[in-house]
Structures are given as structure tokens and as C-alpha cells.
């Protein structure tokens, strides 16, 4: 199977480019310095722990990663976080009370990667809480120096719930930027686009809020509607209608990052002519309703 037909392989190839990009390196450095938290950009179904070697890796999690029993437990949690984060940001708490989070990155219709952070407490742990953790470690057969484990446990970063929710909100915004950049990479690699299609993309981006038709775009790039329709589908792999819907939905998703923006306002601002049409298209592309997407985006941290 060609790498471009396999989402997991596509993710690994694309991540190699994203990690080398200036936008990612600048954000990664700023994120770590501003939050003190680890950050990882991971492809689908990665087999290793995400923050190994990260200068911001939590001391307790670093110890857990060295033991086969607890390392397996950490991997199971991360698999669960990633599974539940396929449709939106997700945070889960591990057996020791630390939180880990994942934010999905989609390129086109495909989920290709996650931004991951965490290894934090959302409240200061008590001594009795560690006693329960030590008991669970013993029952799991973990051979660890409990004094070192306890010291590392209480050195773990504590972040207020509201502050952590804001951190994840920033990651969701950055994921949108990486998705846009990933789309550019995909288009550049998959299609040696004719200039007319490149001009059409620019025109659509500039006029997506209007009641745009294929005939208008064809006229703007000086081709017949019939010829443009065939060429556009061949170059992009999508019909004009599907492409325009996707462009509009991506803009809606950016607008919904603003908690004060109504879903209906976002729909009409991006060119959808009716709410029923908007809801149908959004659900088809994202797998959930706009309201559900917003809830996933802004309620990334919930009480256990």
C-alpha cells in the first residue's frame, strides 16, 4: 500500500516534516518555557511513551517508565487517551492520580497525529494518596525504591484545573495551525497542481464566505465550468462542493475556539446558507454535531 493511502504511515512521514518546521520548533520551545510541561507530537499507534527524554518529563513518570509493570500501565492509559481523543481533545487520570492529555491533528479526512502533554496533578496530593499508590505498585509487582518514588511523586507539577484547561485550549489552537500546515504539505506532495487550480484555491479562500458557485470560480480563473469541474476533481480528489464545504468547516472550527461565538453565527459567517445544511455537512466531516465538537473542545478537563 502506498504511504499516501495509509493514515498511520502518512502521519509518520508528515510528522517528520512538521517537527522540523520553524512553526513547531518555536511553539514547542515557548510551550515548555511558559507551562513547564512536556510536549510531544506523536503519530498514530506509536509504540513508545511520548515524553521519554523530554527535559520537562515528570520525575514520577520517568521512574514509572523504567519498570516493565508500570510502563505497561502507562502505555495502556496513553492508548485509551488517544482512542478517546480521536474526535476531540481528551484528558484521563492514571492510577496514581496524574493527568495526561491528547489533542488530535487531522489532515483532510484523516487523523494523523496527536499533540500530547500532561504528567500533572490538578490538586496537591496528600500523604494518604501516596500510600494507596505504593500499595498498588506493590500489587502490580513493581520493584522500585519507594523512597525515591515518594520523593518523585511529591515533586510532580501541580497545575490548577482552570489553568490546565487553558493550556489544552492553546494546544487545540496550535493543532489547527499544524493541521493547516499539514494540508499544505499533503497538497504539495500529492498534486503537482496546474496554475489554474492554485488560483482557484486562492479565490475560494478569499470568497468562501459568499454564496459561491462552481461557475463563479471557473469564470474567475478563465475556464469553462465543465472543464474546471473535471480538472478540480482530478487535482484535489474532491468535488468543488465537497472542497468548499471542507474549507468552510475548517473556518467554523477556528471560530468555535471563541467560547462567546454562537454556532449559528459561525455557520453563517463562513458562507453556509442554512443551519440544517451546516449541521449536516459538519456532522458528515467531523463525525459529530457542532455543539458536541464545541463541548469536546472546551471541556477537555472534567472532574473524575
User: Which range, 40-44, 100-104, 195-199, is most confident?
Assistant: 100-104
Given a contact cutoff of 8 angstroms between Cβ atoms, the answer to whether 92 and 181 are in contact is no
* Mean pLDDT across 119-141: 89
CB 91 within 8 A of CB 301: yes
End-to-end CA distance of the chain: 42
Percent of the chain with pLDDT over 70: 91
Q: What CA–CA distance (Å, rounded) separates 270 from 63?
A: 49
List the one residue out of 11, 3, 41 whose CA is nearest residue 190: 3
What is the pTM for the complete model shown? 0.60
The three three-digit cell numbers of residue 222, written as one number: 478563465
* Confidence at 156, pLDDT banded by 50, 70, 90: very high
Residue 91 host element (H or E): strand 90-93
Residue labelled with grid coordinates 492508548: 79
Judged against a pLDDT cut of 90, whether residue 103 lies above it is answered with yes
Helix, strand, or coil (residue 116): strand
Q: Does 5 have pLDDT greater than 60?
A: no
**Can you name the residues that pair with 117 across neighbouring β-strands?**
101
The pLDDT of residue 244 is 92
Q: What is the pLDDT of residues 235-287, one digit of tens each?
A: 888 899 999 999 999 888 888 888 888 899 998 989 998 898 899 999 888 88
CA angle 182, 185, 190 (to 5 degrees): 125
The band of 125, judged by pLDDT with boundaries at 50, 70 and 90, is very high
3 pLDDT tier (thresholds 50, 70, 90):
very low
Q: At what angle do helices 146-155 and 127-139 cross, to 10 degrees?
A: 130
Closest CA to 110 of 179, 26, 29, 175: 179
Please name each of the domains of the chain with its CATH number. Answer: 3-175 (no CATH), 184-298 (1.10.10.60)
Amino acid at each position: 500500500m502506498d504511504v499516501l493511502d495509509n493514515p498511520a504511515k502518512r502521519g509518520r512521514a508528515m510528522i517528520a516534516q512538521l517537527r522540523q518546521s520553524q512553526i513547531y520548533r518555536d511553539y514547542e520551545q515557548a510551550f515548555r518555557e511558559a507551562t513547564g510541561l512536556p510536549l510531544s507530537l506523536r503519530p498514530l499507534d506509536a509504540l513508545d511513551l511520548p515524553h521519554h527524554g523530554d527535559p520537562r518529563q515528570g520525575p514520577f513518570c520517568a521512574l514509572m517508565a523504567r519498570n516493565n509493570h508500570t510502563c505497561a500501565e502507562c502505555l495502556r492509559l496513553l492508548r485509551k487517551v488517544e482512542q478517546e481523543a480521536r474526535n476531540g481533545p481528551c484528558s484521563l487520570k492514571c492510577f496514581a492520580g496524574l493527568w495526561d492529555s491528547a489533542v488530535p491533528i487531522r489532515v483532510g479526512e484523516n487523523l494523523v497525529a496527536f499533540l500530547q502533554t500532561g504528567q500533572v496533578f490538578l490538586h496537591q496530593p496528600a500523604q494518604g494518596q501516596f500510600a494507596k499508590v505504593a500499595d498498588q505498585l506493590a500489587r502490580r509487582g513493581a520493584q522500585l525504591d519507594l523512597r525515591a518514588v515518594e520523593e518523585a511523586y511529591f515533586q510532580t507539577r501541580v497545575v490548577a484545573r482552570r489553568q490546565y484547561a487553558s493550556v489544552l485550549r492553546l494546544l487545540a489552537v496550535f493543532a489547527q495551525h499544524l493541521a493547516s500546515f499539514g494540508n499544505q504539505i499533503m497538497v504539495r506532495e500529492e498534486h503537482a497542481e496546474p496554475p489554474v487550480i492554485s488560483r482557484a484555491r486562492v479565490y475560494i479562500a478569499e470568497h468562501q464566505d459568499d454564496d459561491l458557485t462552481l461557475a463563479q470560480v471557473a469564470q474567475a480563473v478563465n475556464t469553462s465550468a465543465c472543464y474546471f469541474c473535471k480538472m478540480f476533481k482530478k487535482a484535489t480528489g474532491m468535488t468543488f462542493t465537497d472542497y468548499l464545504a471542507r474549507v468552510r468547516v475548517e473556518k467554523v472550527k477556528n471560530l468555535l475556539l471563541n467560547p462567546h461565538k454562537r454556532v449559528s453565527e459561525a455557520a453563517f459567517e463562513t458562507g453556509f446558507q442554512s443551519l440544517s445544511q451546516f449541521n449536516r455537512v459538519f456532522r458528515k466531516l467531523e463525525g459529530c454535531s457542532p455543539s458536541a465538537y464545541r463541548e469536546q473542545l472546551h471541556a477537555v478537563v472534567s472532574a473524575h
